[in-house]
Amino acid sequence: MVKKERFGKRYYYFILSAILIVVVVALAILFTQKPENLIGHNINTYNSFVSSLLLSNWVNNSIFVYTGINNSEIGLYGQPFISDIMAGKFGLLNDQLYFLGGSTKKVTLNLNNEIILTRSNSTDLISTPFESNSIIIEQNSTSQDSFLFQLKGKNAYSIENNTVIVGNNPKLYIYSPHSVFNVSANVNYTSITINNKGDMYLIISFSPVNKINVSSLIVSNSAYIKKWLDRSNNISLNGSFLTQYYTSLLLIKDNQNPITGEFAASPSPIYLYAWVRDGSFAAMSLQDAGHINSAEKYWSWMDSMQQTDGTWYTRYNFWTSAPDTSYGIPEYDSIGLFQIGVSSLYNLTHNSTLIMQFLPAINRSLQWEESNINKSKILPQDLSIWEDVLAYNFWTQAMDFIGMKDSAALFNSFNKNSSEINYFAGILNNTIENDFYNGSFYAEYVTPSELYINGTGQLVFTPTMIADSSSILPIAFGLIPLNSVQAKNDVTAMISSLDIEGGLARFTGDTYHYTLSLHDSSGPMPPWIITTLFLAYYDEKDGNYTGAFNLMKWSIQHSQNFLLPEAIDPNHGNPLQTTSPLTWSSAMYVITALNYK
């Protein structure tokens, strides 16, 4: 009996120990797994939709689509329409296609690179198939619906086999079987109304439509888009994170001028320009994702736009590449970003022939930097990333320093002497470290003053106490070691000062979307997607993948059906409509998602 009792206790302790071991192992697995293994990947995006998109065949045609989601703050309202039709060698046409049916309820950019408008009486699918000269609208309607196509001026036309042939240079073919056409022309417009009911499709083409098989064209386009996305470098995320990655890549590619290579900052009319800074990040995201040809096209465009002194204008006309000589001058961060982007392209491809074509432009940019550093130990004042104050801005100084260091490494790869680059980069770095760091963080900018010693004037700088989250990305890009006191202090200060409902505002007191310009925010300091993802990218570099995961998740939750806006309302959490979607937001997501290990 005694032995039996002892055996029972031993058995009890054995079972208890086994249970404890299982619990401990389970907890160990729980806390060592990455978040994606713990959290469901289907994330609800914000229940609002974008007002405008660009769509391209990625070769020679592009269109602007107003989706029908009202954005009266910037003058977009009423029924959906298509305009700004880029027709290859014919350039930009002043023609519009209006959707005359019900109101838009939902907008989607699907992974076949098609825009879907869900309207009160129909569903419309808009595509510009790869390498085709056509715009295709497929419609399923529950009631009579109409389209109105308008061309400027009085144009000759004919109607043959369900096709209106109109205009000259280019000649347009408007085809819709089982529809009724009404054409009228006066000195101002030629108007073509297309009436239909039920399922239909409409083709606007620059080549005869009798050569077009719509079904096969749509199928082949879907196959090509899938193949292009499949060629993208893989990310270590799935579900909604992967959908966001693919959607972001499509948006970036659609926002690239298919002929010349520059990127629109946004399809929103107020941002429908090619900012060099935003475009540089778009190109870097595409080359990081494995789409080298698309990135090379942008760097070649930027190379062709460089001024003789080694600098660039701030922004250019998206359609014509003409510089906007009246806007935001000067901004000098583009110099460093060109150097960073081309150096990164070489590191990804090791294609010496490809990179050699950019070395003259890099040399001109280095000469500009070295000349100014030699004069003042700092680069000239500019408007920099936020375009809010003409000053010696940290972002510009830091990005150009990183660009110089990357250029020196590139020179070394080509067995070129980099000692002069390193010398002047060292002077600039000393200025950044001695004058911009205020003891807690890197100031948004420094203010200059003239100090006289023994009758000799000397320029001295005083850092502001304005917290600016743009300081995080240069740190993550390698400005200083991530484990340095300055890096830790800066990021901690940014989170403490600028965290708004889980995202990061640009800087303290930011009123841009509130009272300064756009008036679509309910309060100051709305969190921005790019600044939030600056922190996510820093977290990844610092090994904090849980932090990065949560910030990417926050960004997706505040997207408009996977289309990332510029900023989020600080009180209500809705995407701010005036500048959505933003190309840089998508580019920053792609860069961050690819860096997630």
Band of the pLDDT at 3, cuts 50, 70, 90?
A: very low
Q: Given this model, what pLDDT does residue 200 score?
A: 86
Distance CA 70, CA 569 (A): 18
Distance CA 542, CA 483 (A): 8
Q: Given this model, what pLDDT does residue 449 score?
A: 87
pLDDT at 38 over 80: no
pLDDT at 21 over 60: no
Find tokens 């100014």 and name the residue: 372
The residues with which 197 forms a beta bridge, in sequence order, are 144
72, 144 Cβ separation under 8 angstroms: no
Find tokens 């302790």 and name the residue: 13
Band of the pLDDT at 240, cuts 50, 70, 90?
A: very high
Determine the average pLDDT of the residues in 147-176: 92
pLDDT in tens, 454-472: 777 778 899 999 999 999 9
pLDDT at 9 over 90: no
Lowest mean pLDDT: which of 28-32, 254-258, 515-519?
28-32
Q: Given this model, what pLDDT does residue 29 score?
A: 39
35: preceding bond cis by omega (within 30 degrees): no
Question: Which contiguous run of DSSP H or E holds residue 145?
Answer: strand 144-152
Find tokens 């000589």 and name the residue: 325
Rounded (10°) angle between helices 276-288 and 583-595: 30
For 248-400, where are the E strands, in sequence order? 273-275, 315-317, 392-393
Q: Of 178, 118, 185, which Cα lies nearest the Cα of 154?
A: 185
Question: Which contiguous run of DSSP H or E holds residue 20?
Answer: helix 2-32
Query: Phi and psi for 48 in degrees, rounded to 5?
Result: -150, 165
Instruction: Domains for the chain: give ranges and CATH numbers.
Output: 52-225 (2.70.98.50), 231-595 (1.50.10.10)
Distance CA 387, CA 470 (A): 13
Distance CA 398, CA 236 (A): 30
Q: Given this model, what pLDDT does residue 17 score?
A: 52
Q: Given this model, what pLDDT does residue 389 score?
A: 94
Residue type at position 494: M
148, 192 Cβ separation under 8 angstroms: yes
Q: How many secondary structure helices (H) and strands (E) does the chain include?
A: 15, 24
Question: Exposure of 166 by Cβ count < 10 A (0-12 exposed, 13-18 middle, 19+ buried)?
Answer: buried
Distance CA 65, CA 82 (A): 5
What lies within 8 Å, CB to CB, of 132 at 6+ separation is 57, 61, 205, 212, 217, 221
pLDDT at 18 over 60: no
Identify the residue with better confidence: 38 or 46: 46
Residue type at position 22: V
Q: Of 176, 136, 183, 134, which Cα lies nearest the Cα of 155?
A: 183
Cα–chain-centroid distance for residue 299?
A: 16
pLDDT in tens, 304-361: 999 999 999 999 999 999 999 989 789 999 999 999 999 999 999 999 999 999 999 9
DSSP labels, 528-545: EHHHHHHHHHHHHHTT-H
pLDDT at 11 over 80: no
Identify the residue with better confidence: 198 or 10: 198
Q: Is 162 left (phi over 0), alpha (psi -120 to 50) or beta?
A: left
Rounded (10°) angle between helices 276-288 and 333-349: 10
183, 190 Cβ separation under 8 angstroms: yes
pLDDT in tens, 270-279: 999 999 999 9
Whole-number percent of the chain with pLDDT over 90:
79
pLDDT at 37 over 70: no
Distance CA 235, CA 540 (A): 13
The pLDDT mean for the chain works out to 91
Runs of H (alpha helix) within 137-275:
214-230, 240-254
Q: Given this model, what pLDDT does residue 41 score?
A: 61
**Joined tokens for residue 358:** 């950019």
Q: Given this model, what pLDDT does residue 6 score?
A: 35
Strand order across the 134-141 sheet: 104-109, 115-119, 122-127, 134-141, 200-205, 172-175, 163-166, 157-160
Buried b / exposed e along 563-596 (16+ C-beta atoms within 10 A): bbbbbbbbeeebbbbbbbbbbbbbbbbbbbbbbb
pLDDT in tens, 388-423: 999 999 999 999 999 999 999 999 999 999 999 999
Grouping H, G, I as helix, E, B as strand and the rest as coil, residue 503 is strand
Distance CA 232, CA 225 (A): 11
Find tokens 């769509």 and name the residue: 55
Distance CA 453, CA 280 (A): 43
Whole-number percent of the chain with pLDDT over 70:
93
520, 502 Cβ separation under 8 angstroms: no
pLDDT at 473 over 90: yes
Buried b / exposed e along 277-290 (16+ C-beta atoms within 10 A): bbbbbbbbbbbbbe
pLDDT at 488 over 60: yes
240, 247 Cβ separation under 8 angstroms: no
Distance CA 50, CA 267 (A): 10
Lowest mean pLDDT: which of 59-73, 307-321, 532-546?
59-73
Q: Given this model, what pLDDT does residue 379 score?
A: 98
Q: Given this model, what pLDDT does residue 214 score?
A: 84
Query: DSSP letter at 475?
Result: H
Cα–chain-centroid distance for residue 579?
A: 12
Find tokens 């619990």 and name the residue: 23
The residues with which 148 forms a beta bridge, in sequence order, are 98, 193
**What does each C-alpha distance from 518 to 78, 421, 558 come to in angstroms?**
20, 42, 19
Other CB atoms within 10 Å distance of the CB of residue 526: 27
* Dihedral sign for Cα atoms in the order 528, 529, 533, 534: negative
Radius of gyration of the chain (CA): 28
Identify the residue with better confidence: 498 or 458: 498
